[in-house]
Structure 1
Amino acid sequence: MDRVLSVEQLNASYRKNKVLDNVSFEVLPGTLTAIVGPNGAGKSTLLKAILDLHPRLSGVVSCFGSPYAQVKSRIGYVPQRGSVDWDFPTNALDVVMMGLYGKIGWLKWPKRKHRELALAALEEMGLGNYADRQISQLSGGQQQRVFLARALVQDADLYFLDEPLAGVDAATEKVIMDTLNTLKNKGRTVMVVHHDLQTVEEYFDHVLMLNRTVIAHGKTADTFNQANIMRTYGGSLRWMGDRLG
C-alpha cells in the first residue's frame, strides 16, 4: 500500500533547544492517528515541520511521494485554536471560504458554487445558521467547528489537526469525531494531536507516541499499552488512574 506520509530522521529546534530528535515514521492511507505525548514533546512542532511552517534542521518529509510544496492542495490543516486571532473582523462563511482559495485563486472573487460549498461545510458542522456571525462572537467549540469546516471544504486527502478537541463541549467533540471517522471511511488520512489518553483507544485506530523522538507507532490495539505509555510519559502519569492498573 502506498505511503501517504513519510518522515525520515527529522530534527527541529526552537533556538538552541532541540524539540524533535531523529523522528521517523510512515503513515498509510485511510488511517485515523492520534499523536500523543507529554507537554513539550514536540507534537505541534512535528505538524509544523511537516507543513513547512517550522524550519527543519535536517531530515526528509514526503507526502504522497513528493515534497509538501508540490502537493499542498491535497493537504488540510487545522491549527490550535489558541494560535488564531479570533478578533480578526470576518464572519464564519468567509473563514470557511479561505479553504477554497487554492481553487478560486487569490486575486479572484469567489463564485456562487464556492459559496455553496462553504455553506454546505458549515451545515455539516451544525453551523449553517451562523454563516454571517463574526468569528469573535462564536463560542470556543463553534470556532473549532468553523476551522474544521474550512479544512473540509478543501476536500483534501490528508488532514492534520492540532488539538481539535481541547476545551470543546461534549456536543462539539462528538461532531468532530464523527466527521473525522467519516473522512477515514472515505479513505482519507487524518492525524490528530490529542491530549486525552482516556479516549485514545475509543477514538483512534492508530497512535504515534512522541517524546521528542518516536517512542512507538502503530495500530492502537497493539501499541497503546502500559509499557509504551510509561516510556512516553515517564513519571508524569499519576493522573491516569485505572488506565495503568
Structure 2
Amino acid sequence: MLPVLSVDGLSASYRKNKVLDDVVFDVSPGTMTSIVGPNGAGKSTLLKTILELHPRLAGKISFFGSSYQKVKSRIGYVPQRGSVDWDFPTNALDVVLMGLYGKIGWLKWPKRSHREKAMEALAEMGMADYASRQISQLSGGQQQRVFLARALVMDADLYFLDEPLAGVDAATERAIMATLNLLKSRGRTVLVVHHDLQTVEDYFDHVLLLNRTVIAHGPTEKTFTESNIYRTYGGTLRWKGAKSG
C-alpha cells in the first residue's frame, strides 16, 4: 500500500546547528503515530520541515506519492499553541473559517454553507457557544479546541499536530483524543508530537522515537520498549512504563 507520507534522508538545521540528520520513515494510511523524544530532539522541526515551513538541507518528502504543493489541500496542521499570536483580533468562528480558505478563496467572503460547516466543527469540539468569543479571551484548552476545529473543517486525509495535549485540562485531553480516534476510524492518518510517555501505549498504535534521527519506528506494541527509549533519551530518562526488550 502506498504510504501517505514518505521521508527519505531528511536533514535540517537552525543557525548552522544540525537538528535533523538523515531522517527516514514511511507512514501507512489509517494509522495514529506518536512522535516522541527528548527536548531538542527536533520533533517540532520535523513537522515544520515536512510541511515546508522550515527549509531542509537535504532529503526527499512525498505525500500520497506526490509533492506537498500538489496535495496540501489534503493535509491539516495544528501548530504548538505557544507559537500562535493569540492577541490577534479575531473570534473563534473566524479562526475555524481559516481552515476553509482553500475552498472559499482568499479574496472571497465565506458563504452560509461555509459558516455552517465551521459551526459544526466547533460544536464537535464543544466550542459552539464560544463562536463569537475573541480567541484571546479563551483558556488554553479552549484555544486548542478551536485550532483542532480549524483542522477538522478542512476534512483532510493527513493530520499533523504539534503537542496538542500540552498544558490542557483532562476534559480537553479526552475531547481531543476522542476526535483523533474518530478521524482514525474514518480512515484518516494522524501524526502527533507528544510529550507524555505514560499515555503513548494507550493513545497511539504507532510510535516514532526521534533524537535528531529516527531511533525506532513501528507499531507501538513492538517498538515502544525500554531499550528503544533508553537509546532515544540517552539514559537521561528514569521511567519504567515501557515494555522490556
What's the TM-score once normalised by structure 2's chain length?
A: 0.98
Cα distance in 2 for partners of 1:209, 1:48 equals: 17
Q: Which residue of 2 aligns with 1:130?
A: 130
Aligned with 1:40: secondary structure?
coil
After superposition, the C-alpha distances for 1:164-200 in whole angstroms (9 at most, x for unaligned) are 0000000000000000001011100000000000000
Aligned equivalent of 2:80 = 80
CA contact (8 A) 2:75 2:157 kept: yes
Contact 2:225–2:242 (8 Å) recurs in 1: no
Identity between Structure 1 and Structure 2 (%): 78
| One-letter identity of the residue aligned with 2:94 | D
Is 1:222 aligned to residue 234 of structure 2? no
1:45 partnered with 2:45: yes
- 2:160–2:192 contact (8 Å) kept in structure 1: yes
Correspondence for 1:110 = 110
Amino acid paired to 2:96: V
SS in 2 for 1:55: coil
Q: Which runs of 5+ in 2 are unaligned?
A: none
**Which amino acid counterpart does residue 107 of structure 1 have in structure 2?**
L
Cα deviation, 1:30-53, whole Å, max 9, x if unaligned, reads 000000000000000000010000
Equivalence for 2:179: 179
How far does residue 15 in structure 1 lie from its aligned partner after superposition? 1.2
Match of 2:189?
Answer: 189
1:59 Cα deviation after fit: 0.3
Instruction: For 2:192 and 2:235, locate their aligned partners in 1 and report how far apart those are by CA, in whole Å.
Output: 24
Preserved CA contact (<8 Å) 2:224 2:243:
no
The one-letter code matched in structure 2 to 1:231 is R
Q: In the alignment, what sits opposite 1:27?
A: 27
Partners of 1:28 and 1:54 in 2: how far apart? 24
Taking the aligned partners of 2:19 and 2:186, their CA distance within structure 1 comes to 34
| AA of the residue aligned to 2:67 | P
- Counterparts of 1:214 and 1:49, CA distance in 2: 15
Shift, 1:28, TM fit: 0.5
Q: CA deviation at 1:244?
A: 7.4
Q: Distance in 1 between matches of 2:241 and 2:101?
A: 47
Distance 1:87 1:207, change over 3 A: same
Q: Which runs of 4+ in 1 moved over 6 A?
A: none
**1:139 aligned partner:** 139
Partners of 2:226 and 2:240 within 8 A in 1: no
Matched, 1:90 2:90: yes
Aligned length: 244
The code of the aligned residue for 2:127 comes to L
CA distance in 1 between counterparts of 2:167 and 2:144 reads 10
Letter in 2 for 1:111: K
Shift of 1:235: 2.3
Call closer, same or farther: CA 1:243–1:8 in 2, change over 3 Å.
closer
Please, what TM-score do these two structures have when normalized by structure 1?
0.98
Question: Shift of residue 236 of structure 1?
Answer: 1.8
Letter in 1 for 2:177: M
CA contact (8 A) 2:48 2:54 kept: yes
Q: For residue 4 of structure 1, what is the aligned residue in structure 2?
A: 4
Q: Which residue of 2 aligns with 1:235?
A: 235
CA distance in 2, matches of 1:241, 1:9: 32
Task: Please report how far the alpha carbon of residue 234 of structure 1 lies from its aligned counterpart in structure 2 after TM superposition.
Answer: 1.3
- Three-state SS of the structure 2 residue aligned to 1:155 is coil
- RMSD over aligned CA atoms reads 1.0
- Whether the aligned pair in 1 keeps the contact of 2:198 and 2:241 (CA below 8 Å) is no
CA distance in 1, matches of 2:13, 2:41: 12
The 2-side partners of 1:244 and 1:60 are apart by: 33
